[in-house]
Amino acid sequence: MRLFLLFFLVTLRLGAQTWTEVAPGIWKARIGKPEAYDLLTAAAVSPDKKGLAALGTATFPLNKADVKATAADGKTYLRFPLQKQEQLYGFGLQFQHVHQRGRIFNLHVDHYGNTDNGRTHAPVPFYVSSEGYGVFINSARYLTVYAGSAVRLDSPNPPPVQDRNTDPNWSAHPYSDAVEVLVPATGVDVYVFAGPKTLDAIRRFILFQGGGCLPPRWGLGFTQRVHRLYTADQVLKEAALFEEKEYPLDFIGLEPGWQSASYPCTFEWDKTRFPDPAAFVNTLGKKKVRVNLWTNPYVSPKAPLYPAIKPYAGSHSVWVGAVPDLTIPAAKKVYWDKFDREHVSIGVSGYKIDEVDGGDAWLWPDVATFPSGHSAEQIRQTYGLLVQQQSTELYHRKNQRTYGLVRASNAGGASFPYVIYNDNYSHQDFITALINSGYSGVLWTPEVRASKTGEEWLRRMQTVCFSPMAMINAWASGTQPWSFPEVADQVKAIARLRMQMMPYWYSEFAKYHFQGIPPFRSMQLEEGFAPDIRQEKTNTNLEENPYAVAVAREIRDQYMAGEYLLVAPVFTGQTSRKVVLPKGKWYDFYTGKYAGDGEVITVEPGLDKIPVFVKDGGIIPFMPPLLHAPVAGEKTDLEIRVYGSRERSYELYDDDGETYDYEKGRYSWRKITVRKQADGKLSGTVSAPGPGQPDSYGQITFRFMTN
Amino acid sequence: MRLFLLFFLVTLRLGAQTWTEVAPGIWKARIGKPEAYDLLTAAAVSPDKKGLAALGTATFPLNKADVKATAADGKTYLRFPLQKQEQLYGFGLQFQHVHQRGRIFNLHVDHYGNTDNGRTHAPVPFYVSSEGYGVFINSARYLTVYAGSAVRLDSPNPPPVQDRNTDPNWSAHPYSDAVEVLVPATGVDVYVFAGPKTLDAIRRFILFQGGGCLPPRWGLGFTQRVHRLYTADQVLKEAALFEEKEYPLDFIGLEPGWQSASYPCTFEWDKTRFPDPAAFVNTLGKKKVRVNLWTNPYVSPKAPLYPAIKPYAGSHSVWVGAVPDLTIPAAKKVYWDKFDREHVSIGVSGYKIDEVDGGDAWLWPDVATFPSGHSAEQIRQTYGLLVQQQSTELYHRKNQRTYGLVRASNAGGASFPYVIYNDNYSHQDFITALINSGYSGVLWTPEVRASKTGEEWLRRMQTVCFSPMAMINAWASGTQPWSFPEVADQVKAIARLRMQMMPYWYSEFAKYHFQGIPPFRSMQLEEGFAPDIRQEKTNTNLEENPYAVAVAREIRDQYMAGEYLLVAPVFTGQTSRKVVLPKGKWYDFYTGKYAGDGEVITVEPGLDKIPVFVKDGGIIPFMPPLLHAPVAGEKTDLEIRVYGSRERSYELYDDDGETYDYEKGRYSWRKITVRKQADGKLSGTVSAPGPGQPDSYGQITFRFMTN
């Protein structure tokens, strides 16, 4: 005789009364009894009310009756409707796919392991739909997501039953009319973000977290992370070489060897390699080169900090080092005070915080316990948020902006000035991650480390210069921009182009901050972009493809950079590539020549160039190719490049570039306006900065790229 | 201010009073409040008390104080100690590794996806140690296992802290002194199995489940699964070809086309292809060829059974078909009555039950609900057990043994006469799975489907003939044993060798049943086997291996088959291979020549042979190369091959080969004894069967293989 369990299954009706509009176009439903500690609690950020208000009001974008929640088995089951033709995007930093409908994820902070299964550096539980809305599940648990893969027996609109014996169109993945999510907790807060456009839903999601981060100007320059065992002298020599060879350099990253012991860490300078850290940082600072420090957060038993942090440590070690429970205020204080004392107070500009992602084999296990009582799972889902939030706060207290690197983030982290990176090194996957970062409110750098050939070196350098952080990470290899002499000139050219475009990048990041628009994002968010997304059976050999699984075509190798630029990277071995141009006229970035309109073009850019196209009416402000970002108060000239023949305007952002004074209103949006004159020719004007506001620009000229 | 959770964390002391000896050498601890539905409940099997008693008594193999359980976060955390030099094996049907220490698993029924991460067809939560004990966690949940990967901060014997800056021996995976398991439930029953040898712990685990399965004799012959759309005439013609070409054939498997619709299924014969199923089965039966039917368990809305099963179906479909909740007795009855009526009663010999493993994309999601109230997770972990147990029961009621195929199993399933298979087709991984099957009480077939070359075809055929089921699965390709004319003779030879060895295979399966000894198992269980298991850094290039992860050498390409045989498969492209011979003399299976003793030898077997070695004193009973297994009462001659010079005896099992009468004592163990005569030559004797017991053997001769 089989024993029967009591059948606890409660379906909650999510009617009109359940949804509270918490900001214009953002609704929250509290389901069951949510846990006190969630992603937004960990991030400890507040919505940008002004930015959200500017987006206007909207109506609830789903049929409320179609959103369902069930409590069963001690968990919460969520269900959101899908229309037949809807496509889904997001669910965090995925590396291989942009279209997410039909996929299954276990959202879990981890190193990306070559499969888009939800284990990633930023498993943000947020998705947007091609129908123009977004959904966010505010849980610090490992969520299992069925993004349109499961078919209910009682579906009101089920797919047809097919007989595989006779029906060649039989599919192992029949159409599903819902996104379903398993939340392993007895309750959760769910948010819905209105459009009307998909980008609007993303913007609301980012502004709800306080807006995207605004890096300091120098953060958008060029950065070199030097060999892990370099001494102070070697670092100074390397900086001098950059100067001498005229390669831009804004900050240098020191890798593990700056510490007296690493993996786990002491957070103390190694005095044999860095005998006088303050003088070292100061020397570089005088040359306008800042210092960023690598660390992982795990405290070595050899660290002087260890006795003070041990009472706040989790049960399990990472590499025998203590894991501080940074949800405890006392732990946070003792921990970051150390960083302040040893590094920030002597001028260190920021951090690269490593290994907060995983992998499982060395991170604390899910059976670890923490003194706060938060579970290992919750701490894992939020540790990247905690280190970002707390280190940012440290700099914020000093009214000094920082810009660094981190290996894990999550929802709530959009405003933190950190860029995600990893150890994977697939150039293609790096670009797909860059595309997907824009869906999840995170930043990603396709960092350059080493290369087998000069071609690869240059191709990687071209894309990293069109990303949130233009970086060489030479920790293992000691590479330098000029390591491949056959492409050293081209590398210098692209690094200098990066510097020239700083006014554009800076303005685009300001739009990320104030308007929630991701600076790097998917083509699907661009109006007029409609690639062929038919499902096609790629392999009908049953031996190799026994379930006849169809594969969707998707564009994962071109992206939008800022308001106007379409970037189409070329990978090693390619001499030509296809580029899908959205509807509307597009122009070559380098020549201003007309390139196409709503069509697929083939380009052969040669080795020197990364294909970049500018939208009709595009306005790109350039500055001279300085070797270092201008400091506060320093004036640079502007050359405003204009593409196509359309009248348009551009918002040029300006502030001091280094402090948080913009939070007190110390900034300007200067309007660049391009109009047709009576003779049909274009001419441009730029409005003045607000009275008493910073003014970073000297002589301003216009260059009309298209004849 | 951060909100703090109440800190629920209770560490249970698992002292002497906690452990109850439930059978000699088997202890159980009840931790917290276990769930009513677990793996053993689903399997509904009883321990073989007689077999367990024969293994004798033992003392608790661990330090009880070192076994710990903690209740936290609504889950149960378990901790078992590890000694420094201990190696771990098991955790279910892994495909790439035999050594499991240091690995992390999420034990989850699923199709094997090219990574040993715990998602597999039989994620059996049981492990054994080289120190000679076993641990089983009786939970039908997805268990997260840290098999010696996590280091506690308070470890009494922690690994040294290493500075990666200076220490070239720094390891990302420091030594851990425990296996830790997260059970996502508020309680669980845990079992510990004593040795003293590792194999003894496995035997206790298998006998605790009722012993391994004893297939019918015909199950150990040769089987062909024909093209999925074959008609009755085509099948009969294929069977006639086997007869005509003199290839052995014991049962034919029909693939989806026998059903009127498939994926999901109707369980009804397609009358266009099989106009008279009973006559068809009967015609083959007269030729001593049985019929096995493919199915998956999911009920098509077009099936006549659908209305009756729908009230017992889960919330979600598989390919729009209903998933019967087979934990409900009424569902089980209506379901299997259909199978009885349509198939079993007309003589069908068994089933191949497909797609009970996953994958996630088509199986019910974890948010599915079932009318019994069991969670989707629990149903998934046990569905393979349920279909095996219930179909076996159907045959048991008819006193008729069956032998079939299934895609998922779990702990509790050892006694079910089913062999696991999958869609993966890596010959190497197939052999590793065969090795690992023995650690988990499951059977695995490295089935042959198609091949690119005759060489591959023959190499695969050689190993499948030294496995629990010698099978070609031609569902997709329509291959036949003679499909590669250049190796057709060799294929026939190996298939005939399979038949000749039937008395050996049958006796070894009887030892699986009565004594719990897995017929196919790892070299590590063989005394005198001590391969070099040093850790070695295989790649010191930090760009490619940033965490300097060492890889353990392990033997995953040779295995033991029955009491005496060491099988060392050759893979496509190899002309020679190394074989690790345990200590003790070993002889060539084919020639009887001395091969080595506790050493690594290199063999060049040629294409015709799979290298097989026999332990000193090995006794292998052969019968003539019949084309079909002998039926009940049919007598065959025996040639007993003897290897080496040692005196030894062998237990030859005999019964009617087809019914369950052995459960009522209708069987014999006949003792084959080899002794040295006064002249130093060996001679052999065989004891008679018990009075009134079946006697399957006619003339018995001895062949001394070693001069």
Cβ(B100)–Cβ(B147) under 8 Å?
yes
Please check whether residues A598 and A559 belong to one and the same domain: yes
| Span A561-589, average pLDDT | 97
With beta carbons under 8 A apart, name residues in chain A contacting B263.
162-164, 170, 172
Please check whether residues A140 and A284 belong to one and the same domain: no
Distances in whole angstroms, Cα of residue A215 to Cα of each of A325, A415, A502, A507, A666: 28, 10, 12, 11, 15
Give A334's DSSP letter.
H
Q: Which of A364, A380, A402 is the last residue of a domain?
A: A402
pLDDT digits (tens, 9 = 90+) for A629-665: 999 999 999 999 999 999 999 999 999 999 999 999 9
Q: Which of B402, B422, B448 is the last residue of a domain?
A: B402
With beta carbons under 8 A apart, name residues in chain B contacting A161.
261, 264, 300-302, 319-321
| Span A221-225, average pLDDT | 98
CA distance to partner chain B, nearest, from residue A270 (Å): 10
d(CA A648, CA A353): 41
Do the chains contact at B165 and A373, CB–CB below 8 Å? no
What percent of chain B shows pLDDT beyond 90? Answer: 92
pLDDT digits (tens, 9 = 90+) for A615-639: 999 999 999 999 999 999 999 999 9
Residue A223 covered by a domain? no
Q: What is the pTM of this model?
A: 0.95
Instruction: Give Cα A494 to chain centroid, integer Å.
Output: 22
Q: What is the pLDDT of chain A when averaged over all its residues?
A: 95
Instruction: Flag whether the ipTM exceeds 0.85.
Output: yes
Q: Residues with Cβ < 8 Å from B609, sequence gap 6 or more?
A: B462, B590
- pLDDT of B135 higher than 60: yes
CA distance to partner chain A, nearest, from residue B471 (Å): 16
Token digits for A676? Answer: 């047709």
Do the chains contact at A368 and B150, CB–CB below 8 Å? yes
Q: Burial letters for B359-375: b for 16+ Cβ neighbours within 10 Å, e otherwise?
A: bbbbbbbbbbbbbbbbb
Q: Is A243 helix (H, G, I), strand (E, B) or coil?
A: helix
Do the chains contact at B36 and A5, CB–CB below 8 Å? yes
| Span A515-527, average pLDDT | 97
Token pair 């070329």 is found at A570
Question: Using 50, 70 and 90 to split pLDDT, how confident is the model at B6?
Answer: very low
| Span B339-355, average pLDDT | 98
pLDDT digits (tens, 9 = 90+) for B204-217: 999 999 999 999 99
Token digits for A93? Answer: 């930093």
Please check whether residues B284 and B308 belong to one and the same domain: yes
Comparing CB atoms, the residue among B161, B264, B373 nearest residue A4 is B373
Q: Which residue has the higher pLDDT, A707 or A268?
A: A268
Half-sphere exposure of A255 (CA within 13 A, CB side): 18
Before B277, cis peptide (omega within 30)? no
| E-state strands within B36-118 | 68-72, 75-81, 88-90, 104-109
With beta carbons under 8 A apart, name residues in chain A contacting B320.
151, 158-162, 174
pLDDT digits (tens, 9 = 90+) for A306-339: 999 999 999 999 999 999 999 999 999 999 999 9
Comparing CB atoms, the residue among B173, B262, B369 nearest residue A361 is B173
Residue A504 covered by a domain? no
Do the chains contact at A372 and B547, CB–CB below 8 Å? no
Q: Which of A384, A402, A420 is the last residue of a domain?
A: A402
Residue B463 covered by a domain? no
Residue B40 covered by a domain? yes
CATH of the domain at A298: 3.20.20.80
In which domain, by residue range, is B367 found?
255-402
- pLDDT of B536 higher than 80: no
CA distance to partner chain A, nearest, from residue B261 (Å): 5
Pick from A600-614, B132-146, B154-168: least confident: B154-168
Q: Residues with Cβ < 8 Å from B319, sequence gap 6 or more?
A: A161, A162, A172, A174, B263, B264, B298, B362
Give the model's pLDDT for residue A684. 96
Give the model's pLDDT for residue B12. 61
Residue B152 covered by a domain? yes
Do the chains contact at B543 and A300, CB–CB below 8 Å? no
CA distance to partner chain B, nearest, from residue A237 (Å): 21
Do the chains contact at A367 and B79, CB–CB below 8 Å? yes
CA distance to partner chain A, nearest, from residue B559 (Å): 27
Pick from A164-178, A283-297, A426-440: least confident: A164-178
The number of beta carbons lying within 10 Å of the beta carbon of residue A334 is 16
Do the chains contact at B263 and A163, CB–CB below 8 Å? yes
d(CA A618, CA A642): 6
Give the model's pLDDT for residue B11. 63
Question: Nearest to residue B522, comparing CAs of B531, B513, B511?
Answer: B531
Cβ(B73)–Cβ(B32) under 8 Å?
no
Please check whether residues B151 and B202 belong to one and the same domain: yes
Residue A216 covered by a domain? no
- pLDDT of B3 higher than 50: no
Residue A63 covered by a domain? yes
Question: Using 50, 70 and 90 to split pLDDT, how confident is the model at B546?
Answer: confident
What percent of chain A shows pLDDT beyond 90? Answer: 92
CATH of the domain at A530: 2.60.40.1180
CATH of the domain at B192: 2.60.40.1760
Please check whether residues A364 and A307 belong to one and the same domain: yes
A–B CB contacts, 8 A cutoff, strictly below: 261
Element at A661 (helix H, strand E): none
Half-sphere exposure of A648 (CA within 13 A, CB side): 18
Crossing angle of helices A277-286 and A232-245, rounded to 10°: 10
* Strands of the A585-588 sheet, one edge to the other: A520-522, A559-561, A565-567, A612-615, A585-588, A594-597
Question: Using 50, 70 and 90 to split pLDDT, how confident is the model at B10?
Answer: low
Comparing CB atoms, the residue among B5, B170, B361 nearest residue A263 is B170
Q: Residues with Cβ < 8 Å from A78, sequence gap 6 or more?
A: A31, A67, A68, A69, A137, A180, A181, A182, A183, A188, A190, B367
pLDDT digits (tens, 9 = 90+) for A249-260: 999 999 999 999
Cβ(A473)–Cβ(A441) under 8 Å?
no
For chain A, what is the radius of gyration of the CA atoms? 26
Give the model's pLDDT for residue A10. 60
With beta carbons under 8 A apart, name residues in chain B contacting A362.
149, 172-173, 547
| Span A278-284, average pLDDT | 98
Comparing CB atoms, the residue among B159, B259, B374 nearest residue A320 is B159
| Span A532-558, average pLDDT | 71
Minimal-distance CA residue of chain A relative to B117:
A360
Q: Is B636 helix (H, G, I), strand (E, B) or coil?
A: strand
The number of folded domains in chain A is 4
Do the chains contact at B320 and A262, CB–CB below 8 Å? no
- pLDDT of A374 higher than 70: yes
Give the model's pLDDT for residue B537. 52
Comparing CB atoms, the residue among B161, B314, B477 nearest residue A543 is B477
d(CA B645, CA B562): 20
Comparing CB atoms, the residue among A5, A165, A329 nearest residue B37 is A5
CA distance to partner chain A, nearest, from residue B7 (Å): 5
- pLDDT of B324 higher than 60: yes
Residue B510 covered by a domain? no
With beta carbons under 8 A apart, name residues in chain A contacting B423.
546-547
Token digits for A590? Answer: 């380098």
Which candidate in B6, B107, B163 is best for mutational testing of the A interface (most A CBs within 10 A)?
B163
Give the model's pLDDT for residue B7. 41
Cβ(B354)–Cβ(B419) under 8 Å?
no
Please check whether residues A189 and A46 belong to one and the same domain: yes
Q: Residues with Cβ < 8 Å from A495, sequence gap 6 or more?
A: A222, A247, A248, A461, A465, A470, A481
Comparing CB atoms, the residue among A35, A320, A543 nearest residue B158 is A320
Give the model's pLDDT for residue A138. 98
Cβ(A284)–Cβ(A290) under 8 Å?
yes
Give the model's pLDDT for residue A132. 97
| Span B333-341, average pLDDT | 98
Please check whether residues B91 and B23 belong to one and the same domain: yes
Minimal-distance CA residue of chain A relative to B102:
A361
- The strand pairing partners of A119, in sequence order, are A108
CA distance to partner chain B, nearest, from residue A367 (Å): 6
Distance between start and end Cα atoms, chain B: 85
Q: What is the secondary structure of B431-499 as a DSSP string?
A: HHHHHHHHHHT--B---B---SSHHHHHHHHHHHTTSS-EEEE-TTT---TTSSGGGHHHHHHHHHHHH
Do the chains contact at A261 and B104, CB–CB below 8 Å? no
| Span B266-287, average pLDDT | 98
Token digits for B583? Answer: 């200590």
Q: Is B240 helix (H, G, I), strand (E, B) or coil?
A: helix
Please check whether residues B602 and B625 belong to one and the same domain: no
N residues, chain A? 707
CA distance to partner chain A, nearest, from residue B544 (Å): 9
Pick from A204-218, A341-355, B16-30, B451-465: least confident: B16-30
Comparing CB atoms, the residue among B163, B546, B547 nearest residue A262 is B163
Do the chains contact at B165 and A270, CB–CB below 8 Å? yes
Minimal-distance CA residue of chain A relative to B314:
A153
Do the chains contact at B3 and A41, CB–CB below 8 Å? yes
| Span B404-409, average pLDDT | 98
- The strand pairing partners of A252, in sequence order, are A224, A291
With beta carbons under 8 A apart, name residues in chain A contacting B159.
320
Please check whether residues A644 and A595 belong to one and the same domain: no
Token digits for A260? Answer: 């007296």
Q: What is the pLDDT of chain B when averaged over all its residues?
A: 95
CA distance to partner chain B, nearest, from residue A97 (Å): 16
Cβ(B359)–Cβ(B365) under 8 Å?
no
| Span A376-382, average pLDDT | 98
With beta carbons under 8 A apart, name residues in chain B contacting A256.
164-165
| Span A291-298, average pLDDT | 98
For chain B, what is the radius of gyration of the CA atoms? 26
Q: Burial letters for A9-39: b for 16+ Cβ neighbours within 10 Å, e otherwise?
A: eeebebeeebbeeebebbbbbebbebbebbb
Question: Using 50, 70 and 90 to split pLDDT, how confident is the model at B4?
Answer: very low
- For A28, phi then psi, to 5°, come to -125, 140
Cβ(B128)–Cβ(B198) under 8 Å?
yes
Please check whether residues B80 and B141 belong to one and the same domain: yes
Which candidate in B1, B2, B141, B231 is best for mutational testing of the A interface (most A CBs within 10 A)?
B2
| Span B558-568, average pLDDT | 98
Give the model's pLDDT for residue B15. 62
With beta carbons under 8 A apart, name residues in chain B contacting A182.
365-367
Please check whether residues B88 and B193 belong to one and the same domain: yes
The number of beta carbons lying within 10 Å of the beta carbon of residue B264 is 29
Q: Residues with Cβ < 8 Å from A416, sequence gap 6 or more?
A: A43, A213, A385, A388, A389, A392, A406, A409
Please check whether residues A627 and A567 belong to one and the same domain: no
Crossing angle of helices B198-208 and B502-515, rounded to 10°: 80
Do the chains contact at A164 and B256, CB–CB below 8 Å? yes
